[in-house]
Amino acid sequence: MEPHQKATIVLSSNAVFTGLHDHPIPASIAITANEIVAVGTESDIKPWIGSETKVYHFGDQLIMPGFHDFHVHVIIGSLFKDSVNLFHARSEEEAVELVRQYAESRPNDEWIIGTSWDSSHWESNTLPHRSSLDRVFPDRPVYLPHYEGHFSWVNSKALEMLKIDRYTENPPFGEIAKDENGEPTGILYEQASQLVANLAFQVSHEKNQSLFKDFLSYAARLGVTSVNDLYAMGKDRLFEHFDLYREFDEKNELSVRIHVFPALNGELERAKEVRDAYRSDKLQIAGLKQFVDGVVNGHTAYMLDPYSDYPETRGETTFPADTLKKWIVDADAQDFRIRLHALGDGAVRLALDAYEEAQKMNDKKDSRHAIEHIEVIHPDDIPRFHELGVIASMQPEHLAAAERSMYVARIGKEREKHTFPLHSLQRSGATLALGSDFPVVSLEPMLEIYRAVTRIDSSGQEVWNPEERITLAEALRAYTLHSAYGNAREHELGSIEPGKLADLIVLDANLFAIPESEIKDSKVILTIVGGKIVYEAGAV
């Protein structure tokens, strides 16, 4: 029987990863308007082809669902992408020189912003000091977040603008590092660092529009068709960003689906109001997010036992446990999906305990709450993810971004066995959803996929806990269908099936047929969102 409506686009390949099988299959896909209407053999799809149907044959190149990044920071990431990247600097002096060169090209910027330095990669392996920045920048404020974003390096001008001096007390869940004479060193941790971010990130609406346009192009080029935009510590500007995204959505210029997660802070009315006032298949308030702890590198991740190299502390929680639990119980009662940043094994346990309490108080339901990062876990807590229905939201590239010897020095060999536990969580029955945490690392999904299947560490040579590797098919599903599940959209996104929204990408190679070492170099050649081509390699 002839279909009553012809397809707008037909894609064919010998290698189509639908998400329903562990390996690609030969298939053709018919798209009408914004929907996949048929998947089958070339002869099955032939009746869908009309005189105006765009027909693409891709040989052995891989067609798959668009990537659904489960953890990004859209505007902050775009700001950092527009700044100087210091990740490859190998000394404090080299980092300062990179910032100087960048600042010369931006004479009109009030703030000089750089990102991604990591002193554990430096020859000195010591934290930098404001004095090295002061010599070059006596009058312009400089803000340089560490690659993980949980502490920063600033100059004296930035401290002056913030009115921070030797007499300034630490904010809650924050530290102003001071030398033996009580003077600030220029290193600010957690909420102290966020005081700078709140000032440096005061950006005009026009600048935000420009940054967002750049992000949309960047995502399309990388095959990222959906993202979760999560609250980052400090001032919550996601409601402002939601208004910006809505402008683009209403003009039909939104080329990536955005699920926004403002701050979980006990104030639910505004989130409910915005959630209920506007929702489309491209944009929605999808839940709330909060931090339970910090990061291992800065000794601010909350551990069950003291740090191996700093036994005076085991980190701390961002807020008192009772406060966090109350916020979670109340938000769960209002049917918000909740995302909790928890890196240390103590934070992971506290997050699980809070979700368990919400189930007891509000009855068990299909909440689809998640825990972010889960870099260190106690083995007793691994099965609790499946038992409580909690999604494990992880970013495999973090295990390469972290300097491994530093990481092991912080937590010791015994806890190292339970770091970045992708396979252990998946094997226990947990739903694993992958993302990037852009801008902590690149938005590039191929890096995350490569790291998930190889576990190659920061040296580029060694495999970090090889038993925690997952298969290519598992990694791709975790980056597509499972992320869609995490947003309760698995019925319309995440796999290639008739009736689902037409978010598909084509890669320049069949990932299943190339060496694992080449996965990270694979490129997207076509991106389709809602049946519309938003990126085509070589197109002007």
Q: pLDDT for 120-147, tens place per residue?
A: 888 888 999 999 999 999 999 999 998 8
Residue with the two structure tokens 């806890």: 415
Provide the 3-class DSSP secondary structure of residue 85. strand
Average pLDDT score over residue span 260-284: 97
* 54-87 pLDDT per residue, tens: 999 999 999 999 999 999 999 999 988 889 989 8
How many whole angstroms separate alpha carbon 137 and alpha carbon 134? 5
Long-range contacts from 492-496, C-beta under 8 angstroms, 24+ separation: 492/281, 493/65, 493/68, 493/226, 493/257, 494/19, 494/65, 494/68, 495/18, 495/19, 495/20, 495/65, 496/16, 496/17, 496/18, 496/19, 496/20, 496/27, 496/29, 496/36, 496/39, 496/63, 496/64, 496/65
Q: Are 258 and 292 a contacting pair, CB within 8 Å?
A: no
Average pLDDT score over residue span 152-166: 94
pLDDT of residue 190: 87
Please give the helix or strand (H or E) that residue 447 lies within, else none: helix 445-454
pLDDT of residue 235: 87
Angle at 524 between CA 29 and CA 242, to 5 degrees: 90
Residue with the two structure tokens 């995350």: 448
Average pLDDT score over residue span 272-289: 97
* 356-401 pLDDT per residue, tens: 999 999 988 999 999 999 999 999 999 999 999 999 999 999 999 8
Q: For residue 108, give every residue at least 6 positions away whose Cβ sits within 8 Å of its Cβ, in sequence order, or none.
A: none
391-394 and 370-373 as β-strands: parallel, antiparallel, unpaired? Answer: parallel
DSSP assignments along 242-290, one per residue: HHHHHHHHHTT---SEEEEE-B-SS--HHHHHHHHH---SSEEE-EEEE
Q: Edge-to-edge strand order for the sheet containing 391-394?
A: 287-291, 337-342, 370-373, 391-394, 432-434
How many whole angstroms separate alpha carbon 502 and alpha carbon 376? 37
pTM confidence score:
0.94
pLDDT of residue 202: 85
Task: Record the tokens describing residue 527, joined without a space.
Answer: 């991106």
* 162-203 pLDDT per residue, tens: 999 999 999 988 899 999 999 999 999 988 888 998 888 888
* 454-476 pLDDT per residue, tens: 999 988 999 999 999 999 999 99
Q: How confident is the model at residue 404 (pLDDT cuts 50, 70, 90)?
A: very high
Please give the helix or strand (H or E) that residue 426 lies within, else none: helix 422-427
pLDDT at 530 over 80: yes
* 323-344 pLDDT per residue, tens: 999 999 999 999 999 999 999 9
Task: Give the distance, in angstroms, between the CA of residue 410 and the centroid of all CA atoms in the same chain.
Answer: 24
pLDDT of residue 458: 87
* 240-250 pLDDT per residue, tens: 999 999 999 99
pLDDT of residue 150: 82
